[in-house]
């Protein structure tokens, strides 16, 4: 009995040290302390393995992370983060299809993090841009608007290699300044000032960067002739905020 109590006291002390190591981002130290706790407590808890998985994930040890977390993927003790992290581990091994399933499971389990939505779209995009667009269309059809989903989608749109997500978000009016900048920069790179102007004229609250691009297009006379006749002087235009959150 005394031995059990002393083991529990040691385990508690190690847990406190581990939490401090996590707070300090000392992932290797935290991992070692968790393995020591598992030696002391053979009946591992979901919380211990969840945290161990996290420390492994942060060190890029995706295979071991998967090995630690997978047995707990259906545990009643889990939070939505466990399957999110398991999906991250699978994604790190380029197992995109299975990673997508676990991100979706995390969402079904009540994920409130835009990271889950973002990462799901990123792995779907790796499988096929059309798969990511299909997911966006599915979210668009849900009865209640989910701002967390759209934030995750906007974050994904600036991270994937192509412009498909940014274009979809722009067309469906779920974009933000970062999404629009990806589209505008592409038109700048391809020397398509008319396309830049077309987008800029549909923005109600441009960012400072968008306003500067607008001014440069007028200054360099790169806007359509009819638009040039109607364009107001720079000092007459509305001074927009530095970062816009509303669109069109």
User: Tell me: the pLDDT tens digits for 168-207?
Assistant: 999 999 999 999 999 999 999 999 999 999 999 999 999 9
E strand or H helix at 2:
helix 2-23
- For 239, the domain range is 176-248
End-to-end CA distance of the chain: 69
Tell me if 131 is assigned to some domain: no
Tell me if 223 is assigned to some domain: yes
pLDDT band at 43 (very low <50, low <70, confident <90, very high): confident
Tell me if 137 is assigned to some domain: no
Model confidence, pTM = 0.87
Contacts of 5 (CB under 8 A, 6+ apart): none
Tell me if 245 is assigned to some domain: yes
Q: Which residue has the higher pLDDT, 142 or 126?
A: 126
Tell me if 22 is assigned to some domain: no
Q: Which residue has the higher pLDDT, 71 or 244?
A: 71
Q: Which residue has the higher pLDDT, 6 or 102?
A: 102
Tell me if 132 is assigned to some domain: no
Alpha helices in 109-235 (DSSP H): 114-127, 129-140, 147-157, 164-171, 177-189, 193-200, 208-219, 225-230
Quote the number of domains for the chain: 1
Question: What pLDDT shows up at residue 226?
Answer: 57
Q: From the CB of residue 49, how many other CB atoms can be counted at a distance below 10 Å? A: 21
Q: Answer yes or no: are the C-beta atoms of 55 and 35 closer than 8 Å.
A: no
Examine the pLDDT at 3 and tell me if it is beyond 80: no
DSSP symbol at 57: H
pLDDT band at 227 (very low <50, low <70, confident <90, very high): low
Tell me if 100 is assigned to some domain: no
* CA 202/CA 21 separation, integer angstroms: 50
Tell me if 214 is assigned to some domain: yes
pLDDT band at 243 (very low <50, low <70, confident <90, very high): very low
């Amino acid at each position: 009995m005394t031995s059990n109590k002393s083991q529990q006291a040691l385990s508690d002390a190690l847990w406190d040290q581990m939490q401090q190591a996590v707070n300090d981002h000392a992932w290797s130290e935290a991992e070692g302390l968790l393995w020591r706790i598992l030696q002391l407590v053979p009946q591992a808890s979901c919380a211990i393995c969840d945290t161990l998985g996290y420390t492994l994930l942060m060190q890029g040890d995706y295979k071991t992370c998967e090995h630690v977390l997978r047995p707990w993927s259906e545990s009643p003790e889990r939070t939505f983060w466990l399957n999110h992290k398991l999906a991250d581990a699978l994604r790190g091994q380029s197992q995109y299809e299975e990673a997508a399933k676990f991100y979706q499971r995390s969402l079904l389990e009540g994920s409130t993090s835009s990271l889950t939505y973002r990462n799901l779209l990123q792995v779907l995009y790796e499988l096929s841009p059309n798969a990511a667009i299909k997911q966006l269309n599915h979210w668009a059809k849900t009865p209640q608007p989910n701002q967390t989903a759209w934030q995750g989608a906007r974050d994904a749109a600036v991270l994937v290699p192509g412009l498909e997500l940014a274009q979809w978000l722009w067309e469906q009016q779920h974009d933000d300044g970062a999404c629009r900048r990806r589209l505008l920069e592409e038109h700048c790179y391809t020397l398509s000032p008319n396309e830049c102007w077309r987008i800029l004229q549909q923005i109600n609250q441009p960012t400072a960067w968008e306003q500067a691009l607008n001014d440069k297009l007028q200054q360099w006379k790169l806007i359509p002739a009819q638009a040039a006749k109607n364009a107001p002087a720079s000092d007459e235009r509305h001074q927009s905020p530095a970062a816009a959150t509303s669109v069109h």
